[in-house]
Structure 1
Amino acid sequence: MKEKELSIQAIGITKKYPKNKIGLQPMSLEIKPKSFVALMGPSGCGKSTLLKCLNGDNPATSGEVFINGLSLIENYDLVKKDIGYVPQDDIIHRELSVYKTLYYAAKLRLPDDTTKKEIDQRINKVLKSLKLDQHDQGNPKGQKDIKDKKVKELSGGQRKRISIAVELLTEPSILFLDEPTSPLDPETIDSFLKSLRELAEGGTSIVMVTHKPEDLNYVDEIVFLGVKGHLVYKGAPQKITEHFRVDTIIEVYSKMSHLDEVKNYYTAPKDGSVSARVNPKLKKTKPDSSIRQLYWLANRYLNIKLNDFNNLLLLLLQPIIIGGLVSLVFTEFRIGVIFLTAISAIWFGVSNSAKEIVGEMAIYKRERMFNLNINTYIISKLLVLSLIALVQVVVFVAIIHINFKLNAIPEFPETYLRPFWESIGFLFMVSCSATLIGLFLSSYFSTTEKVMTVVPITLMPQIMLAGVMTKLDTRLIEILSFFTLGRWGTEGFARLQDDYFKNMDIATESVLIPEFNPDGYHKNDCKCEAASALDQLGLYDENLIDKGVLIGNAFNNFTANAIAVVILSLIMYLLIFISLNKKDSI
């Protein structure tokens, strides 16, 4: 190995945040190949910030980082696949088995022509390197291979190793780990760090954030930061106490928690030259196939949903419960049923998707850093969630159709939900559009709690601006309604009912939708009148149009309603893309 060969070289890097907050003071450092380096320091000193600056997750504000002699920023697409990174949060799906987790990761990260045999060999290799290839102990008769276990059945230490195994599948030359020993017990830590030690000796440079002094027994070097992001020491672990003139590492932590002391040891950056070495593995490869990536993303996501049986069951019970309540409360098919049917389709879409991105943001960000395409990610979510929404809509519409057909009132014997399949098609489109609303909320907000707080706020306008709860009789309210699925879903579904009756060969009346009047309706004493569903909504009141209060008849047809739903869907898709794109590291 040449003297100047380096895995990582940082020259004069700093990290600044808004309002003049300093994350890292100017620093330079070098990390050699096959070295095991610990990033240490008091809480809040910038350990994770430095790690992310070095791997590109959150680049430095100034200065430059070189990976194997190549600029991290300028050559990110070239070097990113030679970097392994395990953040503090798990980057694996808990619902999948260990084998499926690694298999899908391999399919998404390895070249397209990698065979299943080669993938299995790599999986076995990384599990062995992390000492995860053994069967459960203590149950010799019923031994269960760890590959067959679901991730959620594993201990914290095992999950962390599986996260690392995902990264090792691509055989990176550098592995970044953010506090990997935090969830581990002492016995597990020893085994875990020994396996990392062997990885380093095998050729992988490892940079690990840790706050545990006992981890120093396994590393080659320490990079120690003082408060406010000052580099105060880089060297052998055996010499750190001597450097700070203390007896224990605990005293080093205490001493470097005081800014006055830190300034005495701060190592200012020096001018440096970049190593010309380039890892021979770092060569341009053909772009990943979007179609292939979409297939494996959708395949993985479908498996995740199918394996989460209890949640899937709850989703499939929703249309049965809501449909049953609608059938119980309403004794005839009227505008209220049409309205609730459209709103239910919207609810299915939003509730299905509201937690689907935010709940796996750590996984998304890591896969995005590696090779994930935003469009294939969004579409894979939409495909699987739309399949669930389709089942929900079919079940719901079937319940409403059958109930009101069997229990049609004598005054309106032909009045029940029709046409059946056209209604399913339109409501499915509405539900898919609502799915995109949920995905946008999930991509925009940072926690599941925030998303679930906003979901009711998102749904209320769909209810209030549909034209049923109150008439849309002012220009402002009408314009606001144009941006809600509630309005277009209810209107479009009402049109389907009206158009069906208009096409029926009925001599007396063309439209038979019961209209509730102030006297109410009693089954044995009908006080209902026949009126079209659209007339009852009053979205295109001719008197208000003539007065200039409402815009007019520009959207007064089913095609315009469907186009409005499509436009809202495209807007939501664009917002999801923008929201996810803003989370990009580089």
Structure 2
Amino acid sequence: MTDTVIDVQGLRRGYAGGFEAVRGVSFSVARGEIFALLGTNGAGKTSTVELLEGLAAPTGGQVRVFGLDPYTRRAEVRPRTGVMLQEGGFPSDLTVAETVRMWAGVTTGARPAAEVLGLVGLAARASVRVKQLSGGERRRLDLAMALLGRPEVLFLDEPTTGMDPEGRRDTWALVRELRAQGTTVLLTTHYLEEAEELADRLAILHEGELVLSGTPAEVTATRPARIRFTLPAGVPAARLPLALHAAAYGQRVEIRTERLQADLTALLRWAHDAGVELAGLDARSASLEEAFLEIAQNRRTAGIEADAGARTDSRTDSRTDDMMVGTR
């Protein structure tokens, strides 16, 4: 994966009224890579993806797909990409097969309808009207439309929303298969397990800024691992080795550590020597969800503190002005 297919540098997107949804975001995606954009609602994910798809021009910065501006060179870029929006909006009275054939009529080099429906697991629903599909089946139809033109780059915006667990797993398998065939995939998702399962690399956005990026392992490695267990009645947490820095909630104990293997070894050795059984022992590295939530919480706390500081400064300035008025 040496060719850069998507390149984003200092990307900005503003809206009327001065609101800036994307603020100086930079990242790149290599050919044959699955790249995930994560973030809470309002983080700027969809605004960023729309710029990559060429649906709007950036307010600032630069976007390149296949080395081309996807907005000014849309006629050259669009036939090589597939786009799965959050909502496809297909005519509800058409059947699934009719919808595919309609879309194929405006798609260069479209796959046969039976082939694309087979890919997304809708072959048996070809004669069903769109309005009769479940939410998960509609998402599969959205995916089918995105795959119709055999895209080199596939944009997936919340691809498995509304799918049952089986449908989600099937979609993951299909995305992996597409990646193996050389398709580059950029996806947004609220399912952190989905990003952890699929993404080669990911970026976390918060309030329009990219705050952390890397492989899932690199992102989770920035957060401590944890060890949890319950001590027997009559065995206080104070008996644990001091080096373990444990936090106790009654008999329930949690240890946060940057040295999972060493601290777990020390804990098990102590338990063996003391003849103590550690009920419900659970040791694991940090999950992507924990890293994500901690980032969001830290940013929220920082924002609250900044707002409080600004209000304090404002009150101080106001008092100073009042004092100055009193001396004139």
The two structures have a TM-score, normalised by structure 1, of 0.39
Task: Decide whether the 8 Å contact of 1:131 with 1:195 is kept in 2.
Answer: no
Is 2:119 aligned against 1:126? Answer: no
**C-alpha deviation, 1:127, in angstroms:** 2.1
Report what 1:250 is aligned to.
289
What does the per-residue CA deviation read over 1:5-46, in whole Å, with 9 as the maximum and x for residues that have no partner? 122111111122233322112121110112122211122211
Is 2:193 aligned against 1:214? Answer: yes
Which residue identity lines up with residue 255 of structure 1 in the other structure? E
Report what 1:286 is aligned to.
none
Report what 1:60 is aligned to.
58
Superposition pairs for residues 7-46 of structure 1, below 5 Å? 7-46=5-44
Distance 1:72 1:256, change over 3 A: same
Larger proportion of strand: 2
What does the per-residue CA deviation read over 1:384-421, in whole Å, with 9 as the maximum and x for residues that have no partner? xxxxxxxxxxxxxxxxxxxxxxxxxxxxxxxxxxxxxx
CA RMSD of aligned residues (A): 2.2
Report what 1:183 is aligned to.
162
Is 2:67 aligned against 1:69? Answer: yes
- Return the alpha-carbon distance in structure 2 between the equivalents of residues 244 and 53 of structure 1: 32
Superposition pairs for residues 169-568 of structure 1, below 5 Å? 169-215=148-194, 216-226=196-206, 228-245=207-224, 247-257=286-296, 258-259=298-299
Task: Decide whether the 8 Å contact of 2:63 with 2:69 is kept in 1.
Answer: yes
Which residue identity lines up with residue 167 of structure 1 in the other structure? A
Distance 1:233 1:245, change over 3 A: farther
- Return the alpha-carbon distance in structure 2 between the equivalents of residues 147 and 251 of structure 1: 41
Distance 1:213 1:23, change over 3 A: same
Distance 1:33 1:24, change over 3 A: same
SS of equivalent to 2:151: coil
Task: Decide whether the 8 Å contact of 1:13 with 1:62 is kept in 2.
Answer: yes
Task: Decide whether the 8 Å contact of 1:194 with 1:218 is kept in 2.
Answer: no
- Return the alpha-carbon distance in structure 2 between the equivalents of residues 96 and 23 of structure 1: 36
- Return the alpha-carbon distance in structure 2 between the equivalents of residues 110 and 83 of structure 1: 11
Question: 76, 100, 103: which one pairs with 1:102?
Answer: 100
Query: Which consecutive residues of structure 1, in runs of 5 or more, have no partner in the other structure?
Result: 112-118, 134-144, 264-586
- Return the alpha-carbon distance in structure 1 between the equivalents of residues 301 and 292 of structure 2: 11
Which residue identity lines up with residue 197 of structure 1 in the other structure? R
Structure (1 or 2) with the larger CA radius of gyration: 1
- Return the alpha-carbon distance in structure 1 between the equivalents of residues 30 and 180 of structure 2: 12
Distance 1:82 1:24, change over 3 A: same
**C-alpha deviation, 1:221, in angstroms:** 1.7
Which residue identity lines up with residue 198 of structure 2 in the other structure? Y
Report what 2:228 is aligned to.
none
Distance 1:262 1:81, change over 3 A: farther
Task: Decide whether the 8 Å contact of 1:130 with 1:192 is kept in 2.
Answer: yes
Report what 1:459 is aligned to.
none
- Return the alpha-carbon distance in structure 1 between the equivalents of residues 301 and 33 of structure 2: 29
Report what 2:127 is aligned to.
148
Task: Decide whether the 8 Å contact of 1:84 with 1:167 is kept in 2.
Answer: yes
Superposition pairs for residues 563-582 of structure 1, below 5 Å? none
**C-alpha deviation, 1:100, in angstroms:** 0.7
SS of equivalent to 1:128: helix
**C-alpha deviation, 1:254, in angstroms:** 2.6
| Number of equivalent positions | 241
Task: Decide whether the 8 Å contact of 1:256 with 1:262 is kept in 2.
Answer: no
Which residue identity lines up with residue 299 of structure 2 in the other structure? L
**C-alpha deviation, 1:244, in angstroms:** 4.5
**C-alpha deviation, 1:173, in angstroms:** 1.0
SS of equivalent to 1:15: strand
Task: Decide whether the 8 Å contact of 2:37 with 2:187 is kept in 1.
Answer: yes
Distance 1:108 1:65, change over 3 A: same
Larger proportion of helix: 1
Which residue identity lines up with residue 42 of structure 2 in the other structure? G
- Return the alpha-carbon distance in structure 1 between the equivalents of residues 114 and 191 of structure 2: 30
What does the per-residue CA deviation read over 1:265-290, in whole Å, with 9 as the maximum and x for residues that have no partner? xxxxxxxxxxxxxxxxxxxxxxxxxx
SS of equivalent to 1:8: strand
Report what 2:273 is aligned to.
none
Distance 1:190 1:31, change over 3 A: same
What does the per-residue CA deviation read over 1:527-555, in whole Å, with 9 as the maximum and x for residues that have no partner? xxxxxxxxxxxxxxxxxxxxxxxxxxxxx
- Identical aligned pairs, as a percentage? 28
